[in-house]
Amino acid sequence: MLRILLLKLTVFTFLSFHSFGQQISDVRIDKKFESELLTDVLSQIEANSSVKFFYDPSWLENVRVSGEYTDTSLRSALEDWTANTRLNYHFYDAFNVVLYLRSDLLSTLNLAGLKDTDVIIVGDSTNAVSGTAVSVRGTIRNGQTNEPLLGASVYVDELASGTVTNAAGRFSLQLLPGDYHVRVSHVTLQQEAKRMFVFGPGEFQLDLYEKTIQLEGVTIAGQAPDINVKGIQMGTVQLQVEDVKKLPAFLGEVDIIKSLTLLPGVSTVGEGTTGLNVRGGTADQNLILLDKAPVYNTSHLFGFFSIFSPDATDDVTIYKAGIPANLGSRASSVVEVKQKSGSKEKFGSQGGIGLVASRVMAEGPIKEGKSSFIVAARKSYVNYLFDTFIKVEELVGNKAGFWDLSGKLDFSLSDRLSLTASGYVSKDNFTIANESSFDYQNGLGSAELGYVFSENLLGGLSVAYSDYQYQLGDLQLADPYKVSSGVGQLDIKADVTRYTERHALQFGGGTTFYGFKPGERSGINADTQITPVALPEQQSQESFLYANDEINLNDTWSVMAGLRYSMYRSYGPADVFVYSGERPGRTSTLTDTLQYSGNETIKNYSGLEPRLSFRYSLDDETSLKASYNRIYQYIHLVSNTTAITPYDIWMGSNYYLMPLIADQFSIGYFKNYEDNTWETSAEIYFKDIDNLVDYKDGADLVLNPTLETELIQGKGMAYGLELLVKRSKGKLNGWASYTYSRTLRKMEGADRESTINKGNWFPSYYDKPHDLTLSGSYKVTRRWTISSNFTYSTGRPFSVPENGFLFDGVLVGNYTERNNGRIPDYHRLDLAFTLDTSLKIKKLWESSWTFAVYNVYGRKNAYSVFFKDTADARPTAYKLAILGAAFPSITYNFKF
């Protein structure tokens, strides 16, 4: 009988091509049936329209129809007529309806030419629900790694809408039972298009695989292609490492952190410096997380390379505004760097050989399908090159090098319970012979337990640890010594997320223990005369509770509302100095020492941090968004240099130092064109900061037991406009962004020493009003890609002496104002060519070559400008350029 059906179907397909007239959607039933045979009813419909029904008559034996119908659609009527039967129906196209036995759908479809793999069946086809919307849930994973995919788009063509997966790779849709076309996509992976039959509530899992042939160029958008318009987040960008790898990089070393500076609102103070300035924030106002562990120093060799191995990293997400309540503790941004999980299916390896360093990564299953590992290592060979090839006398004894090692374990303990653990260690060494040395070490670890309580209730528990130690050696002395400082923290955090139709509610809490080592001096030589001196370590604890709800009110409005309550205490053992006068100052004298015993609270701070975001969709491709967030920051980087340097000291809020409080307001207009091919946005922000830490003129911060006398706290303000045009599809893609921003501060203390620039607003040292970035890539052929960056920014402020004077024969500059001048404007062009060596989809060994030139036209961009007395007694300004030439590089990458 099925053969007949097939025959009919084939014939009909041909015929239907020629038939005109009423189709399924036009059929309206206006009739009262009294126990009529369904076969007769269907025949009547066939007679009065162009609709045809296909079935095996034996299935319809004795199936009768009763009831009164007025202007009823065929779909509704069929729902009724098949409700208490073994039958189900399927609208094959606009004219043809297939009736089938519920258990036989697949074979029926097979006959209709559809393969099992093209079809997703949700719910029990033998017990289909009809009429009411059911919940369709699922998990989207990366098929190579089995990792859940965040931000995969699940789009239902028939509804012209869809949803996006959460961090657990899960999504939920409300659909009427029926037949749909769904498209599941993720920015880095191959889109999957499926036919989905929904019979009732249920769920499915779908794996996406890497795009093998189709090379996309530079895309900065992570997540769904229209997330910038549809999502509630603003000021948030996800960069995929695969895309970052194609950007021109300094000496060919792919740098995840540096690539962020190509985004509007993110800048650095100069080349070769570590630290980001996000929307007018200082470098210590960014919480940079590797998995869950905060990273205190993100760079190797001062700031030339980032510490994250590109092979072991998935993506990086930066939140510049509208920061959800589960994140906090740093005032300006959160940067989440996600380490890759190893593949649970097969072993693999990749790596690269560059001019400065080489790297290798290996991954594979521990227990197939259940658990995996990944390890990645990187080592520089600058030293070896110094010794072997350079042989420049001046460089003998100089050393520069780094290594890092990272790993992650991923266990699926059960269907509901998953455990991941990741670790990272790195070491840097830089020595200028007989002069100075700078060493630092990062150690990070985190473990995360994920539990699925039910389909829409997820729980997470994480523990993270971070330790950053740095040593600065002064070798230019009879008795050389080093000063060691450090900071460490231990975080414990628990979150629960509940998804309902319109809500994504997340709540939780956590606590962090900080330990600060402000400085310790010890001799380097064995026969040293130096008595070790150590400033006492400081301890503090920061805790928080939060709730955050993302609410899709309707298609046009969505809201994210969150509240975070943070508490902080610094505790003993510690000695706190009490000074004469209101605030500790240089002239005030010590009047008392307060002694605190172990765990005794020295000072408490706390505050409520509201977070609020709105999205209003003007149409499918346009939206308006607004957000507000308040963040308390309890730890500070104390510095009197422009860049982050080994002299800087991390310290927590304490008896004198108050927490920094930042409020940010931002609004934005987002519009996409041509099916999300072009994205445009305009965002305006205003940020107000209280208790911004600055230093007094002439402050001596190194090993200073009375550091509070050298510091001042004042106000900060930043505002700006960020414009972005981006093309993320096609052979040519990339973006152009322009930012106008100002970042100012006001330090008005009780006395002259704690007042800067007469208490007026003055620019921060990273205030660069105009910033233009053009970044693009062009796929010349399937194998060749050219990419390029151009950046321009206003020179940063620096202090210019108003005049000078002679004292004891030394010309001393008279700096009456801080940051009253600007270094020359910065601009730079980079180019990179990437050659993929193989285009085969299935290949054992994939490799690529990247040829890059950094600073193509060799501009000597100023890092700093300073004044020196010269032999002819006239002071001269000098410009220090760090990378004042074009830097070519070549890198070989492989994967198998």
Closer CB to other proteins, 523 or 769, in the complex: 523
Q: Which of residues 674-713 bind other proteins (CB under 8 A)?
A: 697-700, 703-704
- Backbone phi, psi, residue 40, to 5°: -65, -45
Pattern 452-481, other proteins, x by CB under 8 A? ------------------------xxxx--
Q: Is the peptide bond before 573 cis (omega within 30 degrees of 0)?
A: yes
Query: Which residue is listed with tokens 């000078």?
Result: 804
**Strand 348-353 to strand 64-73: parallel, antiparallel, or no bridges (unpaired)?**
unpaired
Q: Which of residues 365-404 bind other proteins (CB under 8 A)?
A: 382, 385-386, 388-390, 392-395, 398, 400
Assigned token pair, 13: 């397909």
Q: Which residue in 640, 799, 659 sits closest to 704, CA to CA?
A: 640
Are 537 and 516 contacting, i.e. CB atoms less than 8 angstroms apart? yes
Q: Minimal distance in Å, beta carbon 877 to other proteins?
A: 4
Among the listed residues 1, 7, 780, 812, the single contact to other proteins using CB under 8 A: 812
* Residues forming a β-bridge with 376: 361, 406
Cβ count near 281 (within 10 Å): 29
Does the footprint of other proteins cover residue 880 (CB under 8 A)? yes
Closer CB to other proteins, 703 or 772, in the complex: 703
3-state secondary structure of 128: coil
Q: Is the peptide bond before 294 cis (omega within 30 degrees of 0)?
A: no
Closer CB to other proteins, 452 or 882, in the complex: 882
DSSP string across 824-877: PPEEEEEEEEEEE----SS-S-EEEEEEEEESTT----EEEEEEE--TTS--EE
Find the angle CA(260)-CA(263)-CA(265) to the nearest 5 degrees: 105
Q: Where are the beta strands (DSSP E) in 176-218?
A: 178-186, 189-198, 202-208
Assigned token pair, 29: 């039933």
CA distance 547 to 328: 13
Among the listed residues 831, 869, 894, 895, the single contact to other proteins using CB under 8 A: 869
Binding segment (CB under 8 A) for other proteins, from list 569-577, 664-672, 739-747, 880-888: 880-888
Query: Which residue is listed with tokens 């993720």?
Result: 186
Does the footprint of other proteins cover residue 352 (CB under 8 A)? no
Cβ count near 618 (within 10 Å): 13
Residue 150: enclosing H or E segment and its boundaries? none
Q: Minimal distance in Å, beta carbon 822 to other proteins?
A: 10
Pattern 848-867, other proteins, x by CB under 8 A? ------------x-xxxxxx
Q: Minimal distance in Å, beta carbon 583 to other proteins?
A: 18
Does the footprint of other proteins cover residue 433 (CB under 8 A)? yes
Rounded alpha-carbon distances, angstroms, from residue 445 to 302, 482, 606, 865: 22, 27, 28, 40
Closer CB to other proteins, 468 or 765, in the complex: 765
CA distance 459 to 172: 17
Closer CB to other proteins, 34 or 808, in the complex: 808
Does the footprint of other proteins cover residue 876 (CB under 8 A)? yes
Through-space distance between the first and last CA atoms of the chain, rounded to whole angstroms: 51
Q: Which of residues 216-255 bind other proteins (CB under 8 A)?
A: 251
Among the listed residues 233, 306, 469, 889, the single contact to other proteins using CB under 8 A: 889
Among the listed residues 755, 788, 799, 850, the single contact to other proteins using CB under 8 A: 799
Does the footprint of other proteins cover residue 356 (CB under 8 A)? yes
Q: Minimal distance in Å, beta carbon 879 to other proteins?
A: 4
Q: Which residue in 246, 356, 245 sits closest to 305, CA to CA?
A: 356
- The count of residues interacting with other proteins (CB under 8 A) is 96
Q: Minimal distance in Å, beta carbon 880 to other proteins?
A: 5
CA distance 343 to 64: 55
Among the listed residues 761, 815, 833, 894, the single contact to other proteins using CB under 8 A: 815
Q: Minimal distance in Å, beta carbon 648 to other proteins?
A: 10
Does the footprint of other proteins cover residue 364 (CB under 8 A)? no
Closer CB to other proteins, 263 or 853, in the complex: 853
Query: Which residue is listed with tokens 């098929």?
Result: 143
Closer CB to other proteins, 742 or 879, in the complex: 879
Among the listed residues 200, 573, 607, 813, the single contact to other proteins using CB under 8 A: 813
* Residues forming a β-bridge with 194: 182
Closer CB to other proteins, 348 or 875, in the complex: 875
Among the listed residues 102, 183, 879, 895, the single contact to other proteins using CB under 8 A: 879
Among the listed residues 48, 161, 191, 434, the single contact to other proteins using CB under 8 A: 434
Q: Minimal distance in Å, beta carbon 805 to other proteins?
A: 4
CA distance 179 to 841: 32
Q: Which residue in 483, 628, 596, 607 sits closest to 544, CA to CA?
A: 607
Q: Minimal distance in Å, beta carbon 656 to other proteins?
A: 19
Closer CB to other proteins, 598 or 698, in the complex: 698
Does the footprint of other proteins cover residue 646 (CB under 8 A)? yes
Q: Which of residues 14-73 bind other proteins (CB under 8 A)?
A: none
Query: Which residue is listed with tokens 């060919």?
Result: 252
Q: Which residue in 330, 321, 325, 254 sits closest to 288, CA to CA?
A: 330
Hey, CA dihedral for 257, 260, 265, 268, is it positive or negative? Answer: positive
Does the footprint of other proteins cover residue 543 (CB under 8 A)? no
Q: Minimal distance in Å, beta carbon 829 to other proteins?
A: 18
Q: Which of residues 734-793 bind other proteins (CB under 8 A)?
A: 752, 765
Among the listed residues 180, 579, 650, 887, the single contact to other proteins using CB under 8 A: 887
Give the residue ranges of DSSP H helices in 643-788: none
Does the footprint of other proteins cover residue 432 (CB under 8 A)? yes
Are 279 and 265 contacting, i.e. CB atoms less than 8 angstroms apart? yes
Closer CB to other proteins, 688 or 869, in the complex: 869
Closer CB to other proteins, 481 or 544, in the complex: 481
Are 491 and 464 contacting, i.e. CB atoms less than 8 angstroms apart? yes
Does the footprint of other proteins cover residue 816 (CB under 8 A)? yes
Closer CB to other proteins, 303 or 322, in the complex: 303
Among the listed residues 586, 731, 770, 843, the single contact to other proteins using CB under 8 A: 586
Closer CB to other proteins, 726 or 822, in the complex: 822
CA distance 455 to 458: 8
- Give 467's Cβ-side CA count (13 Å radius): 10
Does the footprint of other proteins cover residue 832 (CB under 8 A)? no
Closer CB to other proteins, 55 or 438, in the complex: 438
Among the listed residues 593, 810, 842, 857, the single contact to other proteins using CB under 8 A: 810
Does the footprint of other proteins cover residue 196 (CB under 8 A)? no
Binding segment (CB under 8 A) for other proteins, from list 14-22, 67-75, 233-241, 427-435: 427-435
Q: Minimal distance in Å, beta carbon 357 to other proteins?
A: 11
CA distance 775 to 133: 45
Among the listed residues 170, 338, 378, 521, the single contact to other proteins using CB under 8 A: 521
Does the footprint of other proteins cover residue 518 (CB under 8 A)? no
Q: Which residue in 549, 445, 543 sits closest to 497, CA to CA?
A: 549
CA distance 322 to 665: 8
Closer CB to other proteins, 839 or 885, in the complex: 885
Q: Which residue in 202, 203, 204, 140 sits closest to 170, CA to CA?
A: 140
Does the footprint of other proteins cover residue 2 (CB under 8 A)? no
Rounded alpha-carbon distances, angstroms, from residue 747 to 490, 698, 704, 714, 843: 33, 15, 22, 5, 62
Q: Which of residues 605-644 bind other proteins (CB under 8 A)?
A: 640-643
Q: Which of residues 256-315 bind other proteins (CB under 8 A)?
A: 272-273, 302, 304
